[in-house]
Chain A
Amino acid sequence: MSEENKGPGKTIIGLECHVQLDTKSKLFCGCPTTAEEPNSACCEICLGFPGSKPVLNRKALDYALRVALALNCEINREFFFSRKTYFYPDMSKNFQITQYEIPVGKGGHIILSSGKKIRIDRVHIEEDPAALVHSEGLDASRYTKVDYNRSGIPLIEVVTAPDLSSPQEARDFLDQLTTVLHYLGVFDLQNGTLKVDSNLSIEGNERAEVKNITGKRSVEKALAYEEVRQKGLVKKGVHMKRETRAFNEQTSTTRSMRSKESEADYGYIFDPDLPTFELSDSHLEEIRGNLPELHGIKAERFMKQYAIDEYTAQVLSANPVLGDLFEDVSKKVDARFAAKFLSRELLAIINYNNLSLATAGLDPAEISALLEMLLKGEVSERNAKQALIKYALEKIPPAKYIEEQGLKKDLDTDQIEDAVDVVLKEQEKAVADFKAGGQKALNFLVGQVMRKTKGKVEAREIQSILEKKLGA
């Protein structure tokens, strides 16, 4: 936020992040975590029918342990579950099975891209409630439908200390967190949901909690709104009260739901249907041993090992697939050249076309071959990019595409100069414009020569010939 917001006092932010773990089956029953039809993936357990009992999915516990370890947490060796009781139509039992006294992990941290350390208070496991569906929007729908497919999907909750000092830092924190989760293979970046309860206060005042915000961008927006709102009130001398607020996606604003005094008391008890689970040394070490190299460490290694700059190293290590691709390609091609090309050109194509690196199926050998041609001057940058787009979208190997389309640079200097001469003759007006000082006209002429040469020649080479011939 800008200078004007720094008046009343520092902004203090803490987050509670709920992330769906990407397990095959639910936390306490064998139902699948993915299903097309509403209410098609549920059984007596996730529907909370009387007589049914939960059985812990050990895979979910292992996933949570990976997260806690990756977030540098101290790991508890004995876990039990608790019942958080409150009445709500999305709760099949009107209590949620969660961890209260003893979480899986506590006392960890995440390092932001600025190098700032954000403390993590705890990481615990709990079950997701059912989804409430309003087919025609919250206000217009006459009925609320309940979809129990979501009921019982494993969630981890990551709770930070109030160490964040701006909405931008909060966003950076969430980026770092989701990157770690993606690296661990426990979170689906594209389909997995991230829900956040955010607490913001202005130093010396009570805080407001904005509940249940979906997605990183919305969290940043909600916090930005809260920061301005609260600073405005503090400036006016308004006494802030603790309250719970809701975020409106459409207007990017928040509104009060209830004051903290009327907050539910969840009356936690130990869940007597689930025994205490003990974590053995060998199992913990096995999980620790299987942790991948995380992005922060990988970025540092990339900088040292490949002599690339910090920003590029961070971009390449933010996605494990991209990092692996880079390292494979670097075995054949100059690493710094590969780093630049992959972090700029490839990522731009992937993002622009809404593709996923994980599913794009890019073969490092094909990319290496393309980069080798580019380095040897056998193909222009423009045509190399074109070939890469075709590869990413249509799986046509780039070398084959260049060959078939006749895009190899097979012109000698004389042939290029001939093409330039033809254009200069054809475009008398542009030549005149250029001579009168029109820089735009030069770009136009470069474009015309490129068209004549099928983009085989680099623009800067054409430009220097043109400038020479026009005596610029």
Chain B
Amino acid sequence: MVSSIAEFVKQVRMEKMDVLEHTAQIFDEIESNSELNHFNVVAKEQAMQQANEIAAGIKIGRHEGKLLGVPISVKDCVCVKGMESRAGSKILSGYKPTFNATVIEKVLVEGAIIIGKTAQDEFGFGTFGTNANIGFEAPKNPLDQDRACGGSSAGSAGFTALTKFTHASIAQSTGGSIASPASFCGVAGFTPTYGLVSRYGLIDYGNSLDKIGTIGKTVEDASLLLGIISGHDPQDSTSLEERFEEKGEAKKIGIVKELFEKSDDKVSKECKKALGKLEAKGFELKEISLPLNSEYGIAAYYLISMTEASTNLARFCGMRYGLHKELEGHFDEYFSSVRSDGFGTEAKRRVLLGTFARMSGFRDAYYLRAMKTRTKLINEFKNAFKEVDVLAHPTMPVIAPKFSEIEKLTPMQNYAMDLCTVPANLAGLPHISVRAGEVNKMPVGLMLTAGHLRENILSSIALEVEGAQ
């Protein structure tokens, strides 16, 4: 049994756990599982040096830090100073940020050891982790290597499920990129209220949607890490001044009708079973309908995220950092040449669609209409939270698919897989995916969503679900 982060830190302080040995062992594990492609950067040298410093500090009584000696992996799109940070893209080859993301500063202060950058769909553009760019391989699910980890925080969830050591991961979600892989790998994935965690240092996908969150083996670990990385940051103008509520009571759970109906029967059944156990413990279950979110969520999400992404990706042109070539010809031709080579297929698709949606003549019909739709979808949630404290539904409509099955999906079928995760992400609502059962020996995730800044009630209910397993 792996110790929780809290237990591990206690052991470290009592010098019953050797940080150096623990760190060395986790790297042995990473190396012997390298064919699972969970890491884009394995930062062994840097991490061992950190472990040495922490071990030396412990000997002279330096015991502070809620993450003292805890190995933390970081999704590739989160900048770590001096560590190649590519967001899974060839176009950022060689980009070593000159600064740490705010979340990295926060975990370093608490004594965490950064072990590397985890694999992801290029720039977060994917549901399965399979949109890996040239030079990257799709991460494999440790529970069945023919299956995907989910995405886009694929490596973060895959390695969290795989490791036999204490560890948690800093992940990121735009439309479900934490919940999806957490569900497919059977771990806890916590996505906070938009603005609770600073985005400073996050390589953008869709800025109005992007949230840094956490993946842990357990709800406890994921919650602890989220508590550490959250808080106001003046460097991120969209960062909230408020923290999440200290306490909160939750009694009523809303069962989202449409999302159960549209999910695979076996998956729905497992989730209902887990909710049944909560009812037995005194929670009140109530069916809730979210017709607008179920119908228009995917369309609004993809329009807004692709539109924002198409402007975010404009800066990658081979001029200042990352992939570059011999300068030749007109700058337009040079930029096009670097971008043609550096972006993968899905990135190109999203740049093209996103650019189209904001061009004059189409802007009103697509981009602006999607923004208006988003407001309506948020209002639908507000009304739902007048009736219940938390909404529940399957995180993903299926269990982790096989690579061979993913290959057959059209882009539209692929996007439709985000049906359950997209609404809460569009509304900036906190949500957690917790293991609730299994189908064909593969985990099923239950997703719980609460109102803004009500992260605490999510933790407490998710702990109940986890405990009943």
A and B: interacting chains: yes
Give complex CA distance A44, B319 in Å.
15
B234 near A55: Cβ-Cβ < 8 Å: yes
- The 9 A-B residue pairs with the shortest CB-CB distance in the complex, in nearest-first order: A94-B314, A272-B208, A272-B207, A267-B358, A51-B79, A50-B203, A51-B201, A93-B315, A83-B311
Residues of B within 8 A of A50 (CB): 79, 85, 87, 92, 95, 97, 203-204, 315-316, 321
Give complex CA distance A51, B101 in Å.
7
Which of A49, A87, A267 meets B98, CB within 8 Å?
A49
For residue A393, CB closer than 8 A to chain B, the reply is no
**Which of B33-41, B139-147, B235-243 sits within the interface?**
B235-243
Residues of A within 8 A of B386 (CB): none
Whole-angstrom distance between the Cβ of A87 and the nearest chain B Cβ: 6
Which of B92, B208, B307, B320 meets A48, CB within 8 Å?
B320
A51 near B236: Cβ-Cβ < 8 Å: no
Residues of A within 8 A of B238 (CB): 272-275
Residues of A within 8 A of B350 (CB): none
Q: Mark A261-302, 1 if CB is under 8 A from B, else 0.
A: 000010111101111000000000000000000000000000
Q: Which residue of B lies closest to A47 (CB)?
A: B320
14 contacts between A and B (CB under 8 A): A44-B99, A50-B87, A50-B315, A51-B78, A51-B79, A51-B99, A53-B199, A53-B235, A55-B235, A85-B310, A85-B311, A92-B315, A95-B314, A267-B360
A53 near B236: Cβ-Cβ < 8 Å: yes
Give complex CA distance A190, B355 in Å.
41
Chain A interface (Cβ within 8 Å of chain B)?
A: 44, 47-56, 83, 85, 87-89, 92-95, 265, 267-270, 272-275
| A-B CB pair tally, cutoff 8 Å | 101
Give complex CA distance A461, B395 in Å.
103
Q: Which secondary structure characterizes the binding site on chain B?
A: loop
A87 near B321: Cβ-Cβ < 8 Å: no
A89 near B236: Cβ-Cβ < 8 Å: no
Q: Which residue of A lies closest to B200 (CB)?
A: A53
For residue B367, CB closer than 8 A to chain A, the reply is yes
Give complex CA distance A246, B151 in Å.
49
Whole-angstrom distance between the Cβ of A251 and the nearest chain B Cβ: 25
B317 near A51: Cβ-Cβ < 8 Å: no
For residue B332, CB closer than 8 A to chain A, the reply is yes
Q: Which residue of A lies closest to B313 (CB)?
A: A94
Whole-angstrom distance between the Cβ of A440 and the nearest chain B Cβ: 66
A93 near B207: Cβ-Cβ < 8 Å: no
Whole-angstrom distance between the Cβ of A382 and the nearest chain B Cβ: 61
Q: Which residue of B lies closest to A88 (CB)?
A: B331
Q: With A92-B320, A269-B308 in contact, is A51–B360 under 8 Å at CB? A: no
Residues of B within 8 A of A94 (CB): 314-315, 317
Whole-angstrom distance between the Cβ of B337 and the nearest chain A Cβ: 13
Q: Which residue of B lies closest to A148 (CB)?
A: B320
Give complex CA distance A49, B360 in Å.
28
Whole-angstrom distance between the Cβ of A25 and the nearest chain B Cβ: 14
A49 near B308: Cβ-Cβ < 8 Å: no
Q: With A51-B201, A273-B207 in contact, is A265–B359 under 8 Å at CB? A: yes
Residues of A within 8 A of B87 (CB): 50
Q: Which residue of A lies closest to B92 (CB)?
A: A50
Residues of A within 8 A of B244 (CB): none
A87 near B317: Cβ-Cβ < 8 Å: yes
Give complex CA distance A94, B313 in Å.
9
Residues of A within 8 A of B237 (CB): 53-56, 273-275
Whole-angstrom distance between the Cβ of A413 and the nearest chain B Cβ: 78
Q: Mark B232-273, 1 if CB is under 8 A from A, else 0.
A: 001111100000000000000000000000000000000000
Which of B97, B332, B367 meets A87, CB within 8 Å?
B332
Give complex CA distance A336, B361 in Å.
62
Residue of A50, A87, A273 most packed against chain B (CB within 10 A): A50
Q: Which residue of B lies closest to A94 (CB)?
A: B314
Q: With A92-B315, A93-B315 in contact, is A268–B199 under 8 Å at CB? A: no
A95 near B98: Cβ-Cβ < 8 Å: no
For residue B443, CB closer than 8 A to chain A, the reply is no
Q: With A92-B320, A272-B208, A275-B238 in contact, is A267–B332 under 8 Å at CB? A: no
For residue B348, CB closer than 8 A to chain A, the reply is no
